[in-house]
Amino acid sequence: MNSPGALRGRSALVTGASRGIGRAVAGALASAGARVFLLARSAGTL
């Protein structure tokens, strides 16, 4: 995922997106242009 827009037009579902690895992965996917859907146990932490 080195080039911006590499995932443009793609979708990703990230579980555990409120912190840690899930949060980092969600950010990286979004930076690469993906449409990112986030899941977490608590919506308040997203």
For residue 18, the Cα-to-chain-centroid distance in whole angstroms is: 10
**Residue range(s) defining the domain that contains residue 16:** 7-37
Q: Is 32 within the bounds of a domain?
A: yes
Q: Which amino acid is at 43?
A: A
In this structure, is residue 2 part of a structural domain?
Answer: no
pLDDT tens, residue by residue, 3-45: 778 899 999 999 999 999 999 999 999 999 999 999 999 888 8
Q: What is the pLDDT of residues 13-22, one digit of tens each?
A: 999 999 999 9
Number of CB atoms found within 10 A of residue 34's CB: 20
Residue 26 lies in a domain: yes
